[in-house]
């Protein structure tokens, strides 16, 4: 029984690690190596040095292993030991509702844990590493310590105790978090109309301001908690609108007739 659970845990961790690593490198490649707008950073000034980029990638490869292990512990407890709420019978409504609830729950978890580890006694030991890369790049998303992941990423271990959600839907939420997180560190506003204020969807500008101004913009999926608790940076909406406007102008086809 126990040996079977250990093998299931190792196998699940390997599969989740492969999926998250693929998402990390594919999104990083698209939004760092292959991004023609990279020169048009929200953060002007010096780019991150190649040494720091390599450090972020190395740390992310380690960090994603601990994230995968936590996700897999939650999965094995649910799948083998039936610990947690049973998922609702599969339908388009149950999938949509459980995904929305999970996104809201993870966002609340992330917001409050993130605020906690920004407190002075915890920050140095737990979260400082993530803030070393300034400006952040796509590769910085998972550049976190193990302790940092125990605070921010442990949601995936407890999610089945909070939401009646199917494992595949929870994995979809994690994948969305992985991909949007890598894009969120790119420093180029890719949000589009979905993030136009007062839309609650998080933009690149939101997390970029977190790295620049530090004690603000703590959430990860939605701006709801930051608005509610007064931690949204006071220039957020104006800066985001300006960044979105600029991106729209840059990508609009030039229809002028010079003749
Ligand atoms: Zn932070
Ligand atoms: Zn960050």
Ligand nearest to the CA of 215: 1
What is the pLDDT, as a whole number, of residue 253?
66
State the distance from the centre of ligand 1 to the C-alpha of 176, rounded, in angstroms: 19
pTM of this prediction?
0.93
Task: Round to whole Å and give the CA distance between 178 and 129.
Answer: 19
In angstroms, how far is CA 87 from the centroid of its own chain?
24
Ligand nearest to the CA of 134: 2
Task: Round to whole Å and give the CA distance between 79 and 128.
Answer: 35
State the distance from the centre of ligand 2 to the C-alpha of 159, rounded, in angstroms: 22
What is the pLDDT, as a whole number, of residue 255?
43
State the distance from the centre of ligand 2 to the C-alpha of 143, rounded, in angstroms: 8
State the distance from the centre of ligand 1 to the C-alpha of 114, rounded, in angstroms: 6
Both structure tokens of 126: 């737990």
State the distance from the centre of ligand 2 to the C-alpha of 62, rounded, in angstroms: 17
Distances (CA, A) of 245 to 188, 190, 191, 200, 223: 13, 11, 11, 18, 20
What is the pLDDT, as a whole number, of residue 259?
37
pLDDT along the chain (259 residues), means of 10: 92 98 97 74 78 95 98 98 96 98 98 97 96 92 97 98 98 98 94 91 96 96 98 97 88 53
State the distance from the centre of ligand 2 to the C-alpha of 132, rounded, in angstroms: 10
Query: Taken in order 146, 139, 17, 221, is the CA torsion positive or negative?
Result: positive
């Amino acid at each position: 029984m126990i040996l079977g659970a250990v093998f299931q845990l190792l196998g699940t961790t390997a599969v989740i690690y492969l999926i998250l690593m693929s998402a990390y490198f594919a999104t990083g490649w698209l939004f760092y190596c292959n991004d023609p707008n990279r020169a048009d950073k929200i953060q002007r000034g010096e780019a991150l040095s190649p040494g720091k980029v390599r450090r972020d990638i190395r740390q992310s490869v380690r960090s994603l292993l601990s994230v995968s292990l936590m996700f897999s512990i939650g999965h094995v407890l649910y799948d083998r030991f039936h610990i947690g709420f049973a998922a609702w019978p599969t339908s388009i409504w149950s999938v949509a509702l459980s995904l929305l609830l999970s996104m809201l729950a993870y966002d609340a978890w992330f917001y409050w844990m993130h605020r906690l580890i920004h407190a002075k006694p915890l920050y140095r030991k737990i979260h400082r590493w993530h803030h070393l890369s300034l400006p952040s790049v796509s590769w910085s998303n998972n550049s976190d310590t193990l302790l940092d992941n125990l605070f921010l990423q442990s949601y995936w271990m407890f999610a089945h105790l909070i939401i009646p959600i199917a494992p595949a839907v929870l994995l979809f939420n994690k994948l969305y978090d992985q991909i949007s997180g890598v894009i969120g560190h790119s420093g180029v506003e890719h949000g589009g109309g979905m993030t136009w204020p007062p839309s609650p969807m998080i933009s690149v500008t939101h997390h970029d301001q977190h790295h620049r101004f530090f004690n603000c913009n703590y959430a990860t999926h939605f701006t709801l908690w930051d608005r509610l608790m007064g931690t949204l940076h006071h220039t957020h909406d104006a800066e985001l609108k300006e960044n979105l406007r600029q991106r729209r102008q840059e990508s609009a086809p030039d229809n002028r007739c010079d003749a």
